[in-house]
Amino acid sequence: MPVGGYFADSVTDLKELKAFVRIFGGYGVDRLDRMLKEHTAALLNCIDTSLRSNREVLEAVSGSLHSGDRTEREASIKQIIDIDTVIGFCVQAGLALAFDRLLAEASGAVLLEVYDHDSQWVRLILEEVGGANDGSWSFLPYLFATFMTSNCLYPILVNGPKLVTSPKGDMARPQAQ
């Protein structure tokens, strides 16, 4: 669906957005998404202000549309304050929504690519060390969901993970059995 006379795909390319996701990772995408939401919120606030300040005129436009009175409608439309600016805000908000959809699509595609590669790699490693033959790893998404819904992940993201060290002070390495 065109937004503001343009298709969002003509402004951005899914292939380029996938490259962005690979380069900047999930945190970069989250940051861009937050910035995009803040920008969209500001635009929506401006649109809301315009709707409120033009309420009486827009009610007149609505009435003339229902009655079919073209002369009254055109006269009412001319009374809308800063209509060109509001149209620009609406176009920008629509483009931001379309871009957000494309960014989500690119992120999902990259995650699937990474998942396929990483899950195969993890399985190979586990086979080599003889681990997880009982299907326990199928519960990994539930473990991750638990992290995301609990408060335990925040300190790790802020302070970094605690590295496991051996009594000698060097990094402890998992031992094959």
Q: What band does 9 get if pLDDT is binned at 50, 70 and 90?
A: low
Q: What band does 173 get if pLDDT is binned at 50, 70 and 90?
A: very low
Distance CA 150, CA 168 (A): 33
- Looking at residues 141-149, what average pLDDT do you find? 74
What is the model's pLDDT at position 177? Answer: 37
- pTM of the predicted model, to two decimals? 0.60
- Looking at residues 71-78, what average pLDDT do you find? 88
What is the model's pLDDT at position 35? Answer: 93
Q: Is the pLDDT of residue 38 over 90?
A: yes
The CA radius of gyration of the chain, in Å to the nearest whole number, is: 26
Q: What is the CB-side half-sphere exposure of residue 60 using CA atoms within 13 A? A: 15
What is the model's pLDDT at position 167? Answer: 58
- Looking at residues 13-20, what average pLDDT do you find? 87
Task: DSSP for 107-152, please give it.
Answer: HHHHHHHHHHHHHHHHHHHHHHHT---SSGGGGHHHHHHHHHHSSS
Q: What band does 27 get if pLDDT is binned at 50, 70 and 90?
A: confident
Closest CA to 54 of 28, 25, 82: 82
- Looking at residues 76-82, what average pLDDT do you find? 88
- Looking at residues 117-123, what average pLDDT do you find? 74
